[in-house]
Chains A and B, each alone.
Chain A
Amino acid sequence: MKRHPVAKASDIPPGGRKIVRAGAAEVGLFNVGGEIRAYRNVCPHAGAPVCSGRVSGTSMPSRVYEYIYGMEGCILRCPWHGWEFDLRTGEHLVDPQNRLKAVPVENEALERIPLEQSDGTVYVLLPG
């Protein structure tokens, strides 16, 4: 695995996103509730630049004609076909077997210090 320095943690505040290049790959970095998640910027469905999609919440499972908004900030919606992915797991909401390709992340911030207050470098680990 190769360790690519791709951002400063402070570049990605909670709710924030940064799309970076790491070697030949494009990777989307998302701060979801204080944790950095990284995914390849390729939708597993049809190859769209999924990480450029809207981050939002969505309607939760409910009774008929009832709308309950939830998972705020946890949904990445692919810009091409609207598939919703849970940013915490990478799973597609309809078919969890279909998931975003996660990229391991390391950062230099001490775990107890909130990311946005650290100036640590964020690394992604990619083969090669």
Chain B
Amino acid sequence: MHLIDADVHNAFADIRAELRPFLPRLWQEFADRHGIAVPPAGYVSPVGVQREDARPPSGGLAGSDPDHLIKDHMDRHSVDFAILTGSHILGASVHFDPDWGTALAAAYNMNLSGRWLDRSERFRGSIIVSHSDPQAAAREIERCSADKRFVQVLMAAGSNRLFGQRFFHPIYEAAQAHGLPVAIHPGTEGAGTADTPTPAGRPTRYFEWHNIVPINAMAHVNSLVCEGVFEKFPKLKFVAVECGIAWLPHLMWRMDKNYKGLRSQVPWLKRLPSEYIREHVRLTTQPTEEPENPAHLLQIFEMIGSPDVVLFSSDYPHWDFDNPAMALPALPKEWKERIFWRNAAELYGLNPVTSGR
């Protein structure tokens, strides 16, 4: 069977050396004096974020060597395509200085193209944008979209505004114009300009923070539907990477129920909220929920009501990596094919037969 991994973290071997050549002169000088760092969420994992065993022989950060990543992950697990989601860069969206964030995101994309996408046809890139400046993000999407190896737009899930709001629409307009899904990835909840990881306050430790990350994705998906983003941009797809899955039926049911009484506030919606979700929202599997009875997860998939919504992801080389051979419960054949590769192939326009694996 084919396999497309929707969340693989390429890392910098040396962030300054890799990004500096692609920064405008002013920001080169800034980087030389102050280094390059994106705001951290501030939560420290007791096991580290990177898998110890995934460290390349060169000794750099796990995921920092393209050849080793292919060998250690893609060849070992027969991954046709890896959707690269970066590392230590999504926080560009939550820098206090949006111009610095925009410059970093653009430099990342330029570096990705040469250092990763040129290395293997099996790598597909995400255009990382800073959502703090949607007009600049739209220009970055325009710039990168000519290179078809970029298959989605990716931005930090942490934000101080909900993503359905009109402030962000230039990003969706540009993404739709170029047939690119827009994805979010966690890690920046509570970092930089982002609001607290939960509206009830800040979790105390990484464990607690990591548990509650999906609350943020729920809020964004809710906002995208209610603000009419999928009416305004009817071809847009939105991917919540690494944000969990089991909450989706709850949200769909709650939205549909409320819509029956509160419809008049959102007269631009023409269908039940859950119908927009099934058509436009995609979720990646890792970290897969592991109920005591694995069949319950399958029931959750059924409750979502469409086999098109879920995409397999491993999160290699992070500590909570999902092994594609063991991560999901036994699935019916159609669901298995959809989740492990067909949904991603359709979403990203990939043909695994030609991956060259």
Contact = CB atoms under 8 A, between A and B. Distances in A.
A83 B260 contact: yes
A67 B266 CA distance: 9
Given A64-B228, A64-B231, A84-B264, A94 B259 contact: yes
A25 interface: no
Tell which of B166, B228, B272 has the most Cβ of chain A within 10 Å.
Answer: B228
A65 B267 CA distance: 9
B263 interface: yes
Interface string A46-74: 00000000000011111111111000000
The main secondary structure of chain B at its interface with chain A is helix
B227 interface: yes
Contacts of B231: 63-64
B261 A59 contact: no
B260 A81 contact: yes
Contacts, number: 45
A111 interface: no
A58 B261 CA distance: 12
A37 interface: no
Interface of A: 45, 58-68, 78, 81-84, 92-95
A4 B338 CA distance: 61
B166 A61 contact: no
Contacts of A61: 267-268, 270
A116 B232 CA distance: 46
Interface of B: 166, 227-229, 231-232, 259-265, 267-268, 270, 272
A59 B267 contact: yes
B227 A64 contact: yes
A20 to B, nearest CB: 26
A59 B260 contact: no
B261 A81 contact: yes
Contacts of A81: 260-261
A78 B262 CA distance: 11
Nearest to B265: A59
Contacts of A62: 267-268
Given A82-B262, A84-B261, A94-B272, 4 more contacts: A58-B267, A64-B231, A65-B228, A94-B260
Nearest to A75: B264
Contacts of B264: 58-59, 84
A92 B260 contact: yes
A52 B260 CA distance: 18
Nearest to B169: A64
B170 to A, nearest CB: 14
Contact of B261 (A64, A65, A82): A82
Nearest to B256: A94
Contacts of B261: 78, 81-84
Contact of B267 (A60, A78, A83, A95): A60
Tell which of B260, B262, B270 has the most Cβ of chain A within 10 Å.
Answer: B260
A67 B259 contact: no
Contacts of B229: 64
A41 to B, nearest CB: 18
Contact of B263 (A64, A66, A94): A94
Contacts of B265: 59
A128 B322 CA distance: 66
B274 to A, nearest CB: 12
A46 to B, nearest CB: 11
